[in-house]
């Protein structure tokens, strides 16, 4: 069986803000991928994955989905007993959508009505996101459905508001000195506890005010400038966004990165921001001069995802 590959995703902008109606920008990341396969489950990895699918099938069986998005769960269960597993190199707890790719793969194979990503309208995207949110809630407690949507569509997605998402074209990557890159914090993060911290913070009026008046403003300005490839306002707002996160998202920033986060702000050589919910996994870096930033971030594993 050759099933399609589902790529990881990167939320460039919008972490936590999208919960409060900010914009978000997210794109597929083909370095990591996963696909459904059959095997005799000899390895520990395959056996574990198969067990996870068994548990997940139990959850899906009791999930009420709209009629046009129903899944053939009995076929899913049959195939699990025939040795189905999810073959994936997407790291878990790294904010790059490991559960999103799995949900997308299952939906693609077992949805009773077929949905072609290239023909999906803006309205259908909204419905699909809702369905994916229900399916992914098994993994995170509550899901926006965005991660599986990106993995399924395999296209950049602009989150315009809580209710509205659309496909978007991002400027082509080109050989230049500047780069967007990932830094490995060296530890995994868990989405649930981080989101809990965020909701605790949202109970204080001061935090709610600064999130709405500052974070969302900088975040949306970054997206707007990036899509227009207008790099001066982009980096101006990015610095404010990075500084805001350093001040207000402290618990979500892996300890190993506190000092280099500050170093980037002080030197203007690069700026860091959360990639997803934080707490571990990857952190995003942005720089006008990657060679210089790379030297300053010596000792950390880095992966370039976009050049300009």
Measured distance between the N- and C-terminal CA atoms of the chain, rounded to whole angstroms: 39
Do 249 and 277 sit in the same domain of this protein? Answer: yes
Question: Which helix (H) or strand (E) is 26 found in, with range?
Answer: strand 24-38
- Of 59, 54, 128, the C-alpha closest to 84 is 54
Write down which residue in 138, 167, 196 finishes a domain.
167
Sort strands 165-167 and 302-307 into parallel, antiparallel or unpaired. unpaired
Do 234 and 261 sit in the same domain of this protein? Answer: yes
Q: What pLDDT tens digit does each residue of the chain (308 aa) get?
A: 567 999 999 999 999 998 888 999 999 999 999 999 999 999 999 999 999 999 999 999 999 999 999 999 999 999 999 999 999 999 988 888 899 999 999 999 999 998 888 889 998 999 999 999 999 999 877 788 888 999 999 999 999 988 899 999 999 889 899 999 999 999 988 888 898 999 999 999 999 999 999 999 999 999 999 999 999 999 999 999 999 999 999 999 999 999 999 999 999 999 999 998 899 999 999 999 999 999 999 999 999 999 99
Inside any domain, residue 214:
yes
Sort strands 84-88 and 24-38 into parallel, antiparallel or unpaired. antiparallel
Do 108 and 245 sit in the same domain of this protein? Answer: no
Q: What is the CATH number of the domain that holds 211?
A: 3.30.70.890
Backbone angles phi, psi at 162, to 5 degrees: -55, -35
Residue 145, CA atoms < 13 Å, CB-side half-sphere: 17
Do 121 and 101 sit in the same domain of this protein? Answer: yes
C-alpha–C-alpha distance, residues 210 and 227, integer Å: 25
Inside any domain, residue 236:
yes
Inside any domain, residue 27:
yes
Q: Give the number of domains in the chain.
A: 2
Inside any domain, residue 173:
no
DSSP 186-200: SS---HHHHHHHHHH
DSSP reduced 3-state for 66: coil
C-alpha–C-alpha distance, residues 308 and 231, integer Å: 9
Query: What is the extent of the structural domain holding 275?
Result: 179-307
C-alpha–C-alpha distance, residues 163 and 23, integer Å: 11
Do 157 and 185 sit in the same domain of this protein? Answer: no
Do 29 and 156 sit in the same domain of this protein? Answer: yes
């Amino acid at each position: 069986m050759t099933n399609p590959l589902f790529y990881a995703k990167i939320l460039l902008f919008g972490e936590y803000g999208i919960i409060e109606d900010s914009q978000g920008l997210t794109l597929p990341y083909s370095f990591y991928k996963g696909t459904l396969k059959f095997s005799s489950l000899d390895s520990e990895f395959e056996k574990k994955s198969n067990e996870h699918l068994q548990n997940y099938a139990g959850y899906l069986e009791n999930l009420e989905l709209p009629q046009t998005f129903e899944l053939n769960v009995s076929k899913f269960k049959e195939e699990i007993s025939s040795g189905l597993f999810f073959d994936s190199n997407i790291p878990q707890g790294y904010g790059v959508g490991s559960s999103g790719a799995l949900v997308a793969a299952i939906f693609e194979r077992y949805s009773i009505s077929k949905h072609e990503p290239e023909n999906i309208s803006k309205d259908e995207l909204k419905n699909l996101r809702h369905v994916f949110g229900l399916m992914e809630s098994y993994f995170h407690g509550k899901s926006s459905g965005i991660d599986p949507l990106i993995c399924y569509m395999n296209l950049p997605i602009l989150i315009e508001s809580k209710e509205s998402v659309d496909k978007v074209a991002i400027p082509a990557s080109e050989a230049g000195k500047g780069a967007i890159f990932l830094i490995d914090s060296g530890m995994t993060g868990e989405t649930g506890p981080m989101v809990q911290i965020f909701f605790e913070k949202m109970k204080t009026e001061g935090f709610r005010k600064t999130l709405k008046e500052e974070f969302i403003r900088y975040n949306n300005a970054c997206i707007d400038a990036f899509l227009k490839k207008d790099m001066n306002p982009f980096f101006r707002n990015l610095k404010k966004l990075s500084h805001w996160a350093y001040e207000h998202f402290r618990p979500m920033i892996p300890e190993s990165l506190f000092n280099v986060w500050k170093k980037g702000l002080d030197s203007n050589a690069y700026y860091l921001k959360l990639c997803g919910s934080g707490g571990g996994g990857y952190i995003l870096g942005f720089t006008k001069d990657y060679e210089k930033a790379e030297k300053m971030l010596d000792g950390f594993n880095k992966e370039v995802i976009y050049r300009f």
